[in-house]
Amino acid sequence: MTEIFGVPTQALFGQLLIGLINGSFYALLSLGLAVIFGLLNIINFTHGAQYMMGAFLAYILANKAGLGYWWSLALVPLLVGAFGIAIERSMLKPLYKLDHLYGLLLTFGLALVIQGLFRNEYGTSGLPYAMPAELAGGRNLGFMFLPNYRAWVIVASLAICLGTWFVIEKTKLGSYLRAATENPALVQAFGINVPRMITLTYGFGVALAALAGVMAAPIYQVSPQMGADLIIVVFAVVVIGGMGSIMGSILTGFGLGVIEGLTKVFYPEASNTVIFVIMAIVLMIKPAGLFGAQK
């Protein structure tokens, strides 16, 4: 067996793949957080719970309605996104004029409620979700075995991330969005419905989290606490990247996933904490984050 730095290549590439998969989810979730934060100035603590809802809704659709993975991929983001819009309209709206911290506290409370309700209904043990038949199996790349589903997750999340980047940075709609981030009052004066844009942005960010949840369902076990621990890591990712740039969120997400994967190979004891350590180092050297502007 071939080795690199005393590590079998099989193990190395295997962990690298897991790192890329984790990185896909970090990127999708931190992207959603950054988009929401840009316009609403709220850190959406419910993000992890909404990701969990995405996975559970896919599970429920499959078991109660007989709708498979591809249906879920299309329907679940819409449903959870609509749920997000209802939250924004009813609860987040009154908070915009207050200190940003209240938004964090409110969404934290909502996350507790949602996680508690799902735990009551489904218990704490993980539930399996079947992989779509079209993506079962895998291919041998010579140096490693690549399961098709995992390749799909990486490609799909890259496409979604880059698509979002393109819309925000290169289209007219995106330019409104960026303008409203800078100066909402002025943009409103030009006749653009900013409150509606804010609502839809929140819905979109939430839909991204739900989409990530559906994609995660066949890989990780579907369980009520699957989002809670993940969201804390994503917060660290966001602090490292800084929320100023969309591309920054994407790059940091994938990059940290890979670093975490490599840590599992070379120093497994630190694999849980490596992202937090990197966060501490980045804060010491560049407090605004790698891609952030100090506000």
CB closer to another protein out of 77 and 242: 242
CB closer to another protein out of 78 and 283: 283
CB closer to another protein out of 28 and 106: 106
Exposed/middle/buried for 124, CB within 10 Å: 0-12, 13-18, 19+? Answer: exposed
Cα first-last separation, the chain = 52
Residue 103: CB minimum distance to another protein, A: 8
Give DSSP secondary structure letters for 246-270.
HHHHHHHHHHHHHHHHHHHHH-GGG
Residue 28: CB minimum distance to another protein, A: 18
| Spacing of C-alpha 284 from chain mean position | 26
Minimal CA–CA distance to 205: which of 254, 172, 160?
160
Residue type, 245: S
Residue 239: CB minimum distance to another protein, A: 5
Residue 136: CB minimum distance to another protein, A: 34
- How many C-beta neighbours within 10 Å does residue 204 have? 20
Residues at the site binding another protein, with contacts judged by CB under 8 A: 37, 43, 91, 94-95, 98, 100-102, 104-106, 108-117, 119-120, 228-229, 232-233, 235-236, 238-239, 269, 272-273, 275-277, 279-280, 283-284, 287
For residue 141, give Cα distances in angstroms to 145, 147, 148, 212.
Answer: 6, 10, 11, 26
CB closer to another protein out of 101 and 186: 101
The C-alpha atoms of residue 6 and residue 9 are separated, in whole angstroms, by: 9
CB closer to another protein out of 54 and 241: 241
CB closer to another protein out of 106 and 187: 106
Residue 77: CB minimum distance to another protein, A: 24
Residue 295: CB minimum distance to another protein, A: 9
Q: Note whether 50 and 209 are within 8 A (CB).
A: yes
